[in-house]
Amino acid sequence: MDQSSLLYAGLVLLGATALTVYALVIFLSPELLVAHPSEKTYVSPSAPDALKPLGKLSDPPSVDLSVIIPAYNEFARLPDMLATTIAHLDSTPSRAPSPPSEGDIDIEVDLEPEHPPLFKPPPPLRRTYEIIIVDDGSKDDTPGAALAFGKTHPHVDMRVVKLRQNVGKGGAVRHGMLHARGRRLLMVDADGATRFADLEVLWRDMDIVLKRQGTLREADGEEGAAVVVGSRAHLVKTEAVVKRSVLRNILMYALHTLLRILGVGHIRDTQCGFKLFSRKAARALFPAQHLPAWAFDVELLLLARSTDIPVAEVPVAWHEVGGSKLNVVLDSAGMFRDLLLLKANFVLGRWGPASLERHTDSDHVSVDQNS
């Protein structure tokens, strides 16, 4: 076989390989999930049998804060988490907010073993709020637990949304975000592992970021785009991590390496379930979120970086809570697969900033398949 024939055969093999990889990426990549009509409704503790229409992220905000809680089989843990959440939100005094400054940041050492040193939060403000619990196809009575708890707190605007099937934490968060009414939107895990009062640190840092870019209040009355993520990175050398299994620590360092390759290595903890979004940032990010499982945080952060939305990272208090749904081996394998698909789709231009222009109507980009 002469040299030209070898070159031709090599090009054919290379082309076939590229087409095979492209086909695999398309086949394995999740599509944007579409909501069933029933999932665009909610029930409340005061009317558990009456389906009411949810709002839209594209609408103007009508409350100060939306708290979005994805919940899968959380019958046992959810009530305690809700009690802590509502206790903090209801304990905040009413006063006019003062513009924040970076000089306001102090360091406070908290001697409670489960609460590491944190930025000292400023006095919190009374805010109007809603709590959106997205039941991710639970097999237990998670919605019933939420509604029963809500009946003991009738002043709280609690909305319970039921997905027809389990789609994953990322899908549940996305659904809540796309139907939230808040000026700012907080995603928080149902296990209560993060100290909810640290919302004030996230809130203060978002004020600082928006003030720095001159978008704390824009001409239309809304804010600019910003994200503040809670971080457990300061716990890396504490007993909470050191005493974990060798396998979990190996997986953690492998994940950090892959995140640097993906381009979000500047965020030390991408997976903490405590993240605050301005409404403008949520509108820019969640409509284009494809990943429904554990790696969805990384996709959001990569989208933010690609669209120049500032992201701040703030240490928060965190402690281990029993009853985790995470399967270390299987879920880690799934997450690494999703991260590779994420990178491939961004490189191919199927996902990322370009997709934001194609997916702007929240009515068509919600979470469950229309089966």
Report which of residues 81 and 260 the model is more confident about.
Answer: 81
Average pLDDT, the chain: 82
Mean pLDDT is lowest, of 147-156, 213-222, 335-344, 353-362, for: 353-362
pLDDT in tens, 30-72: 988 889 999 999 999 999 999 999 999 999 999 999 999 999 9
Can you give the pLDDT at residue 253? Answer: 66
Q: 194 near 318, Cβ under 8 Å?
A: yes
pLDDT in tens, 121-134: 555 567 899 999 99
Q: For the residues of 281-328, what is the DSSP string, one character each?
A: HHHHHGGG----STTHHHHHHHHHHHTT--EEEEE--B---S-----H
* Full DSSP string of 222-279: -----EEEEE-GGGTTSHHHHTS-HHHHHHHHHHHHHHHHHT-TT-S-S--SEEEEEH
Task: Count CB neighbours of 232 within 10 A.
Answer: 22
pLDDT of residue 104: 46
pLDDT digits (tens, 9 = 90+) for 96-111: 344 445 444 443 333 3
